[in-house]
């Protein structure tokens, strides 16, 4: 995959969170304008971008205050390893996994769950509930290109066989390329959320074998498909270490998230 979609619009100057300290992010003067400015593109995409901005600043405030120590440890660990890597300059891939998927509470709550509780005391709770529900459902997936037109891109997910039609938002990937990405749905439209990571179609067997050999990390799931879905939900740091441009980084275990729980 050669070209990247335009995702660098979350913070002042088009910079990703890794370019700021936690205090700078928490106190940035442009927060109000950032959260309320018009966002170009399809309505669903604009809605999810705005929802993620709210979640991002909520999460950053929690981390700056060390409100949830496992969340703080997770952010600082993955910030040091990956947030400065060019592969993750969309400001979404790493941050969305930390805030949407990392289960650190006694009942496996995520930052998204705490965000939902926070919203109940605000005027935005009802408006952002749809974002919260879809963000909770979402996860990383391995989706192979099977068809493209100017209006739609069709992908088949490895392991599940699920076929999705996504709004074209990423250019430059090859025929049959496999995209590692998070997807979100809105009124029947599926959106690729952030810049996907691409693997050539010739790597399909190797990728399938690699994943199949690691599903035992999540053998509590009842079926191979359920194991895969759990793997893709919880093994974000593993995938980050696989696709990072810094070849000196270690390959993390699929259950690396457990190291942050203390």
| Confidence check: pLDDT of 206 > 60 | yes
Last residue of a domain, one of 137, 163, 196: 137
**Is residue 149 included in any domain, yes or no?**
yes
Last residue of a domain, one of 137, 169, 185: 137
Same domain, 176 and 218: yes
**Is residue 150 included in any domain, yes or no?**
yes
For residues 196-203, average pLDDT: 93
- pTM value is 0.86
Q: Domain total for the chain?
A: 2
- If 0-12 CB within 10 Å is exposed, 13-18 middle and 19+ buried, where does residue 54 land? buried
For residues 150-170, average pLDDT: 84
Same domain, 151 and 217: yes
CB 17 within 8 A of CB 60: yes
CA distance 186 to 207: 29
CA distance 255 to 7: 28
The neighbour count for residue 50, using CB atoms within 10 Å, is: 20
Same domain, 166 and 208: yes
The neighbour count for residue 205, using CB atoms within 10 Å, is: 9
Same domain, 30 and 116: yes
Same domain, 68 and 153: no
Window from 9-13, 127-131, 154-158, 206-210 with minimum mean pLDDT: 9-13
Same domain, 129 and 243: no
Same domain, 197 and 129: no
Q: What is the pLDDT of residue 21?
A: 56
**Percentage of the residues of the chain whose pLDDT score is greater than 90:** 55
CB 167 within 8 A of CB 189: yes
Structural domain of residue 188, as residue ranges?
140-260
Using pLDDT thresholds of 50, 70 and 90, give the confidence band for residue 170.
low
Last residue of a domain, one of 137, 156, 174: 137
| Confidence check: pLDDT of 4 > 50 | no
Using pLDDT thresholds of 50, 70 and 90, give the confidence band for residue 10.
very low
Classify strands 140-148 and 178-186 as parallel, antiparallel or unpaired. antiparallel
Exposed e or buried b for every residue in 70-104, given b needs 16+ CB within 10 A? bbbbbbebbbebbbebebbbbbbbbbbbbbbbbbb
Same domain, 186 and 216: yes
**Is residue 6 included in any domain, yes or no?**
no
Q: What is the pLDDT of residue 252?
A: 97
For residues 132-136, average pLDDT: 97
Q: What is the pLDDT of residue 169?
A: 60
**Is residue 182 included in any domain, yes or no?**
yes
Same domain, 208 and 233: yes
Same domain, 83 and 150: no
Q: What is the pLDDT of residue 153?
A: 82
For the ranges 9-13, 19-23, 171-175, the maximum mean pLDDT occurs at 171-175
Give the list of residues 6+ apart from residue 126 with CB closer than 8 angstroms, or none: none
**Is residue 242 included in any domain, yes or no?**
yes
Same domain, 129 and 151: no
């Amino acid at each position: 995959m050669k070209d990247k979609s335009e995702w660098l619009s979350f913070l002042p100057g088009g910079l990703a969170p890794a370019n700021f300290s936690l205090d700078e992010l928490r106190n940035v003067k442009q927060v109000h304008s950032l959260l309320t400015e018009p966002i170009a593109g399809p309505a669903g995409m604009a809605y999810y971008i705005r929802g993620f901005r709210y979640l991002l600043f909520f999460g950053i405030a929690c981390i700056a205050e060390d409100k949830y120590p496992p969340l703080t440890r997770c952010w600082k660990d993955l910030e040091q390893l990956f947030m400065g890597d060019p592969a993750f300059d969309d400001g979404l891939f790493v941050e969305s996994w930390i805030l949407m998927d990392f289960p650190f509470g006694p009942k496996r709550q995520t930052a998204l769950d705490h965000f939902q509780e926070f919203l109940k005391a605000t005027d935005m709770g009802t408006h952002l509930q749809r974002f919260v529900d879809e963000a909770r459902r979402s996860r990383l997936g391995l989706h192979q290109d099977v068809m493209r037109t100017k209006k739609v891109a069709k992908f088949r997910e490895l392991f599940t066989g699920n076929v999705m039609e996504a709004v074209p938002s990423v250019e430059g990937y090859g025929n049959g390329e496999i995209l590692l990405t998070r997807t979100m749905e809105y009124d029947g439209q599926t959106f690729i959320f952030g810049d996907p990571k691409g693997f050539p179609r010739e790597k399909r067997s190797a990728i399938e074998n690699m994943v199949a050999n690691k599903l035992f990390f999540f053998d509590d799931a009842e079926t191979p498909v359920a194991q895969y879905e759990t793997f893709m939900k919880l093994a974000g740091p593993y995938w980050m270490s696989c696709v990072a441009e810094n070849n000196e980084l270690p390959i993390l275990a699929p259950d690396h998230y457990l190291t942050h729980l203390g």
